[in-house]
A and B are shown apart, each in its own frame.
Chain A
Amino acid sequence: MENGTDYRVRGRVLFVRMPEEVDHHSSLEMKRQILRLREQNPISELVFDFSDTGFMDSAGIGMLLGRYREMAAAGGRVYVRRVSPRVSRILEMSGIYRIIGDWDKRNQEGDR
């Protein structure tokens, strides 16, 4: 929509470049798009790229948890990457790092 979110499918990985502000409003659209792309493509890994994101509230956490549940139910996984200190603080407060890992760290460690 108007918020500059970008979606790319590479193989079985869906990369979502998040908008500048992740809130209830922008999360609604992301949820719809991800659902649509998963219907059209065999996605086993979902990667949220926070390169452009400076703001996120608990609605963003809710959206991540919702996607995690869907992906986990289908045997898939969810990752985040390039989180700013602010977004990282929100992610830490939510405890979501216990179930969602960092994409770049995973690839460095090479546990494919």
Chain B
Amino acid sequence: MKEKETVRVDFESRSHNEQFARVVAAVFAARLDPTVEEVEDIKTAVSEAVTNAVIHGYENGEGIVHMALTIEGRAFTVEIRDDGVGIPDVKKAMEPLYTSKPGRERSGMGFSFMEAFMDQVSVESEPGKGTTVRMTRQIGSEGLL
């Protein structure tokens, strides 16, 4: 498959949509005939990014989470965007075990899991504007991880 395919889904920032988002991502990624492990890795990474948007981006309030899924060649890319509060210091937010909400039972492992399960993770954020997480995984390339 050479051509590029993209689907976009917008959904409300609610915790039960975390499952919805990762299932949609898994179904779309299935077009690349991934292994069970690759599907699980993608589901985990998507769940982390969407949960961050719900809890941190929109601080458990109202908002819309935008998900864009793209397949190009063997590359699967997922972009999770929110128009929420943004992250003042992205580098710090991505440090293992760092959490901006220590009292809220966050493990501080969200970004670490995204980086462990995807080949590339990039985060763009602007305070007051929102955050975009873009993650890519090559499907069918065991040994890369």
A57-B106 contact given A23-B18, A25-B16, CB 8 Å threshold: no
A24-B113 contact given A31-B105, A94-B107, CB 8 Å threshold: no
- Per the bound structure, the CA–CA distance linking A96 and B51 in Å amounts to 21
- Asked whether A23 lies within 8 Å of B109 as measured between CB atoms, the reply is no
Query: What is the size, in residues, of chain B's interface with A at 8 Å between Cβ atoms?
Result: 21
Q: Main secondary structure on chain B at its contact with chain A?
A: helix
Judged by a CB distance under 8 angstroms, whether A46 is at the interface is no
Judged by a CB distance under 8 angstroms, whether A93 is at the interface is yes
Number of A-B contacts (CB under 8 A): 59
The contact of B109 among A31, A63, A94, by CB within 8 Å, is A94
A24-B107 contact given A57-B44, A58-B113, A93-B116, CB 8 Å threshold: no
- Contacting A at CB under 8 A, from B29-58, are 40, 43-44, 47-48, 51, 54-55
A66-B105 contact given A23-B51, A93-B113, CB 8 Å threshold: yes
Judged by a CB distance under 8 angstroms, whether A21 is at the interface is yes
- Per the bound structure, the CA–CA distance linking A59 and B110 in Å amounts to 8
- Asked whether A90 lies within 8 Å of B107 as measured between CB atoms, the reply is no
Judged by a CB distance under 8 angstroms, whether B19 is at the interface is yes
- Asked whether A23 lies within 8 Å of B116 as measured between CB atoms, the reply is no
- Contacting B at CB under 8 A, from A89-110, are 90, 93-94
- Asked whether B105 lies within 8 Å of A57 as measured between CB atoms, the reply is no
- Per the bound structure, the CA–CA distance linking A41 and B110 in Å amounts to 33
Judged by a CB distance under 8 angstroms, whether A86 is at the interface is yes
Residue of A57, A65, A66, A93 with most partner-chain B CB within 10 A: A57
Q: What is A's interface to B at a CB cutoff of 8 Å?
A: 21, 23-25, 27-28, 31, 55, 57-59, 61-63, 65-66, 86, 90, 93-94
Q: What is B's interface to A at a CB cutoff of 8 Å?
A: 15-16, 18-19, 22, 40, 43-44, 47-48, 51, 54-55, 105-107, 109-110, 112-113, 116
